[in-house]
Structure 1
């Protein structure tokens, strides 16, 4: 049975958007349902008070519009740092206060394509197909894993946050099964 939230709250408009735990919720959202249909990988307008830059994730230099890179955000609602962990705070923010989101992977047609990085236990013979099938029976179709990379360890920051840009760099060295 499909639940319709609008029945209980007819004045509420539900919109697709983008946000992070570090940003205390949404940072961008679609204005209309038409935007979602015509631009499914686009997160539309920034919430007031938010600034965003697309930067070269290796140098931190801002790119002009239309270039692909890492998304950085700045706004008063964004967390100020990691409590008691200056190293993690320094790794998460640039000197001007921009939050380094680590968000960079995009597919031209569908936005982001789900993939898995797996650390096998010693002696394991786990295959890519086994991982794909395991995930497929537990998630909705758009969340199904389409690629699997086996690595020795998941790279993490001093705060324990997964370093996705390092995984992206690693993915370019892995031969993927499409």
Structure 2
């Protein structure tokens, strides 16, 4: 709809792969692309000498949390391309929050002027204060009325006062900036602690030997679950499982440490760039393994 409203040309690609997208930008002189954070990481780490990206002005990042180190590295490499960090759901019809990513920013988003928000304890239902983590609830005129023909599903996400339960773990700071941490259902419960996969993924991607990464829960008899990392090595590097685990261990508390590592050729993702974690969990638990373990 943005392209229609602005009178722009809209280009559709059959697959959203890095090389095909860059070729399209070069050939058609595209100025704006909606992307996932993993695409931004790939741009930062890629050799782009074969592509002319001078026409590109804006990237709209969404679908997953964007680490501030990723946006800072991108701005250093592409000072003329602006990142707009957006957050929204199909159920909110449009962006629920967004902001421009300035160099050195901490990744906070401004709530849309159309919406109200609250952070709620997903267990007790208590409304939480700024600085506390909980489920983001949204209310406003752009929030859906419900799922057509599915009253049960509607009742699970919409309360009687019109609040939409997003299922996202978030927090507000004292300046009113919203921080998207991860999906609640993707949290790893290790020794009674909650581990945010996106936090560990951002740290993994800060390693120059790692092109892409995903973190999933792996069952453990003592801890309940432990963080397991799927890692895509940079071509030509030989980073080991121990080196990956040590790299993370130096930066996090004991319960957040990566305890298993599998090296793979690529991270399975949806067409919008979201990590298909269920596939990775199934791979990890399969017997015989569906992936090659190093």
- TM-score, normalized by length of structure 1? 0.57
Please state if 1:33 is matched with 2:101.
yes
Please state if 1:60 is matched with 2:140.
no
CA distance in 1, matches of 2:154, 2:119: 20
Contact 1:114 1:145 in 2 (8 A): no
Shift of 1:38: 1.6
CA distance in 2, matches of 1:77, 1:143: 24
Q: How does 1:103-114 map to 2 (within 5 A)?
A: 103-104=168-169, 105=182, 106=196, 107=198, 110=202, 114=214
Structure whose residues are more often strand by fraction? 2
Contact 1:132 1:145 in 2 (8 A): no
Shift of 1:78: 0.8
**Greater Rg over alpha carbons, structure:** 2
Change (3 A) 1:133 1:88: same
Q: CA RMSD in A?
A: 4.1
Change (3 A) 1:135 1:96: farther
| Structure 1 residues 11-58: Cα deviation after superposition (integer angstroms, max 9, x where no partner) | xx761110111001211011x331x74223x3x111111111110011
Question: Counterpart of 1:90 in 2: which secondary structure?
Answer: helix
CA distance in 2, matches of 1:26, 1:98: 16
Contact 2:83 2:101 in 1 (8 A): no
Contact 1:132 1:146 in 2 (8 A): no
Count residues with an aligned counterpart. Answer: 133
Relative contact order (alpha carbons < 8 A, sep ≥ 6): 1 or 2 greater? 1
CA distance in 2, matches of 1:145, 1:85: 25
Change (3 A) 1:60 1:135: farther
Match of 1:5 in 2: 31
Change (3 A) 1:131 1:47: same
Please state if 1:22 is matched with 2:91.
yes
CA distance in 2, matches of 1:22, 1:114: 26
Shift of 1:117: 7.1
Q: How does 1:65-144 map to 2 (within 5 A)?
A: 65-104=130-169, 105=182, 106=196, 107=198, 110=202, 114-116=214-216, 133=264, 135-136=266-267
CA distance in 2, matches of 1:97, 1:65: 22
| Structure 1 residues 42-91: Cα deviation after superposition (integer angstroms, max 9, x where no partner) | 3x111111111110011222101110011111111110111122111110
Structure whose residues are more often helix by fraction? 2
